[in-house]
Amino acid sequence: MNWSNALNDYQHYLKIERGLSHNSIENYSYDIKKLINYLEENSLGYSPLDITHEHIKQFIYTISKSIKPRSQGRIISGLRNFFDYLVFENYRNTNPMDLIESPKIGRKLPDTLSVADIDLLIQTIDLSYEYNGVNLGERNRAIIETLYSCGLRVSELIDLKISDLFFEEGFIKVTGKGNKQRFVPIGDTTQRYINIWIDIRNHIDIETSSKDILFLNYKGKQLTRAMIFTIIKKLVEKSGLKKSVSPHTFRHSFATHLLENGADLRAIQMMLGHESITTTEVYMHVDRSYLSDVLNKFHPRK
């Protein structure tokens, strides 16, 4: 088995067996390609079946000189998963990553916006902005409001469908990582902004494959992840906000603000679609004043 065959098999496994998205599969593949490129650049003819712990160790040592510990840890994790797959499929007997340790890195706290920051960004949107006769200002307001008010990942936002909206019940159906679905509450304000956009959307000549997609470009096609990043980047620049803001910043802000206002961590986990509560617990470190308030309110020895 050569590297190309092994990588193709692994990608097929990630798609069919684990139900991962195209972007997730690309991220997993990137880690393996780093190793493949290293072997090719150094004329090392090791296949996925005969590469050893020592070879991997030398590769990790080489890349550690040029990448940060966090990136190094991600590559190690990606390779470990890849070789676990080869062992699972009986291509190999052992995983050469077993004795490779990830570098110690501090837990990176998520960036957040204040409520005032988010209000500023929404107020900055030019609601009269049109392109080719389509009001994209109203669309952009609905996008920002949905990202923040529902705590969506950018991939979940661009895949959101008209048929996923259950406004009478006060929920939207979100398809997250691994095609896992969850219902997320949606407030009246966000519903109102989405409905304004839907009225505009109804007058667009929509591409057949995007008939049920909520957020579209002026051509009636589904938006890309890159387009959402661009919309936010331009909005931040126009607002004068001196912060680094991405689509995920709104998701982090959603969770942090819920926690600060007393929401239960388990409820936040369910709304974010985190498989493990430990992933959600990172928000416990964002605002320590919240922890002090909890202690003062609930502890008998306050």
Question: Among the options 177, 182, 221, 225, which is catalytic?
Answer: 177
Q: Catalytic: which of 15, 55, 221, 274?
A: 274
Task: Give me the catalytic one of 15, 18, 182, 248.
Answer: 248
* Residue linked to tokens 């797959």: 85
For residues 216 and 210, the answer to whether their CB atoms sit within 8 Å is yes
Contacts 24+ apart (CB under 8 A), 8-12: 9/89, 10/82, 10/85, 10/86
Q: Which of 80, 92, 251, 257 is catalytic?
A: 251
Q: Which two tokens stand for residue 127?
A: 């609601």
Rounded to the nearest 10 degrees, what angle do helices 136-150 and 115-124 cross at?
A: 170
Rounded to whole angstroms, the Cα distance separating 30 from 22 reads 12
Could you confirm whether 301 is annotated as catalytic? no
Which residue has tokens 């929920």? 171
248 catalytic residue (yes or no): yes
- Choose, from 80, 92, 141, 153, the residue flagged as catalytic: 153
22-41 and 69-88 are packed helices; what angle lies between their axes, rounded to 10 degrees?
100
Q: Indicate if 177 belongs to the active site.
A: yes
Tell me if residue 251 is catalytic. Answer: yes
Maximal C-alpha separation, the chain:
67
Residues labelled as active-site residues: 153, 177, 248, 251, 274, 283
